[in-house]
Amino acid sequence: MGWFGRGKNKDKKKDKAKAAQTPAPEQSEVKEAPAAEPAQAAAVPELELQAAEPPVSEKAPEPGTLEPAKEKKPGFFQKIRDGLNKTRQSISEKVNSVIQSFTKIDEDFFEELEEALILSDIGVPTTQKIISDLREYVKKNKVSDPEDIKGALREILSESMSADPLKLPGPTVLLIVGVNGVGKTTAIGKLAHYFQQQGKSVMLSAADTFRAAAAEQLGIWGERNGVRVIRYAEGADPAAVVYDSIDAAKHAGTDVLLIDTAGRLHNKKNLMNELDKINRVIDKEGGEFHRETWLVIDATTGQNAISQAEIFNQTVPLTGIVLTKLDGTAKGGIVCAVKEMTGVPVRFIGVGEGIDDLQPFDAESFAAAVIE
């Protein structure tokens, strides 16, 4: 387990969710966003976007289905492997070069291997843990040939990243949080597809009301997946959107309600307050739902991902992590560190921009794909 303090929600449940009591602006469906700015616009004053507005992806969904990790098809591993090309090159090259330059396993070997893993974005604390496990393995199994290390390394990595499989015991509210541009809205579009493939009914909630383009982007994903999107005008109170979305999901008997939130500067107090308010509305109004809160992290940010998880977790206790853009980075070693450092399991990984490029995370396949 990591450093995360749990049980924060309990206290919050006692708070009054004021947003829930404010009258909601008129609800609109996918294509009918009200043009006029509502009065609530003033209530979200200094929201700043961290980066340039990400473009709305115009890629049409590809035919084909997302497969759960358990039902690995022949193409499944290949897709992950291709998506992790840069990370594999980075990790495997470094590890292999250490292995090739030693004929026996000694102190120097462990030291160089440690350095190679740290340089692969696995991070210092996680690498130290891996090396310590590896030393034990070597001793116990009397391994003497450096070449035999790879299998052990794969196993140890896989073990440290693995978690209980995701279970949705009933109707679920899945709150998606994360800084701007990490891939939240895109992940929701892909998750909607994934859950539908699992036979579940899905509804989307556009609680990123900071700019109209955000809800429009979610609306496009709603249309592609043929699912309902609850959205208000730009500047509306996000907590009110969440309140009404939960209500709509209850009435429709929806299996999975996916809530999109604003890309927020996580060090800005008012932004965390907004998230806190959403959180309380879900606690208060969504009591009958199973609750998941997933942080989306852009893998290209490397070790910074850990501090993002730490900061978000203080406001909304996290139950899962989605690591996106692994296809574009050699820093995929961060996946190995996330669970170890935060205690929060990685649930999905993004290995491309296609609709089936968001894959359920499978520790074994990941370890096999990055150490060759």
Ligand X SMILES: Nc1nc2c(ncn2[C@@H]2O[C@H](COP(=O)(O)OP(=O)(O)O)[C@@H](O)[C@H]2O)c(=O)[nH]1
Residues 74-133 interacting with ligand X (rule: CB under 6 A): none
Residue count of the chain = 372
The strand pairing partners of 177, in sequence order, are: 295
211 phi and psi angles, rounded to 5 deg:
-135, 145
| Dist. CA 183–CA 358, nearest whole Å | 11
| Residue 146 binds to ligand X (criterion: CB under 6 A) | no
| Residue 231 binds to ligand X (criterion: CB under 6 A) | no
299 phi and psi angles, rounded to 5 deg:
-60, -25
| Residue 181 binds to ligand X (criterion: CB under 6 A) | yes
**Binding window for ligand X (CB under 6 A); candidates: 11-19, 64-72, 173-181, 247-255:** 173-181
Nearer to ligand X, 12 or 193 (CB): 193
Contacts of 195 by beta carbon, 8 Å cutoff, 6+ apart: 202, 255, 256
| Residue 5 binds to ligand X (criterion: CB under 6 A) | no
Tell the smallest beta-carbon distance from residue 51 to ligand X (Å): 8
| Dist. CA 177–CA 319, nearest whole Å | 11
Nearer to ligand X, 172 or 180 (CB): 180
x/- map, 182-221, ligand X, by CB under 6 A: xxxxx-----------------------------------
Contact assessment for residue 125 and residue 331, using Cβ atoms and an 8 Å cutoff: no
| Residue 57 binds to ligand X (criterion: CB under 6 A) | yes
Kindly compute the dihedral angle of the four CA atoms of residues 54, 59, 63, 64, in this order, to the nearest 10 degrees.
Answer: -30
Tell the smallest beta-carbon distance from residue 246 to ligand X (Å): 21
Tell the smallest beta-carbon distance from residue 226 to Mg ion (Å): 20
Tell the smallest beta-carbon distance from residue 267 to Mg ion (Å): 19
Tell the smallest beta-carbon distance from residue 221 to Mg ion (Å): 10
171 binding partner (options Mg ion, ligand X, none; Cβ < 5 to 8 Å by kind): none
180 binding partner (options ligand X, Mg ion, none; Cβ < 5 to 8 Å by kind): ligand X
The single residue listed with the structure tokens 């609306």 is 219
Binding residues for ligand X, total number by CB under 6 A: 20
Tell the smallest beta-carbon distance from residue 215 to ligand X (Å): 11
Tell the smallest beta-carbon distance from residue 250 to ligand X (Å): 26
| Residue 279 binds to Mg ion (criterion: CB under 5 A) | no
**Binding window for Mg ion (CB under 5 A); candidates: 13-21, 167-175, 182-190, 199-207:** 182-190
Tell the smallest beta-carbon distance from residue 186 to ligand X (Å): 3
**Binding window for ligand X (CB under 6 A); candidates: 61-69, 181-189, 196-204, 272-280:** 181-189
Q: Which of 347, 336, 346 is nearest to 160 (CA)?
A: 336
207 binding partner (options Mg ion, ligand X, none; Cβ < 5 to 8 Å by kind): none
Tell the smallest beta-carbon distance from residue 264 to ligand X (Å): 10
Among 126, 245, 254, 324, binds ligand X (CB under 6 A): 324
Among 55, 63, 169, 170, binds ligand X (CB under 6 A): 55
| Dist. CA 207–CA 237, nearest whole Å | 8
Task: Please report, as ranges, the residues that interact with Mg ion according to CB under 5 A.
Answer: 184-185, 214
Task: Please report, as ranges, the residues that interact with ligand X according to CB under 6 A.
Answer: 54-55, 57, 178, 180-186, 263, 324-325, 327-328, 350, 352-353, 357
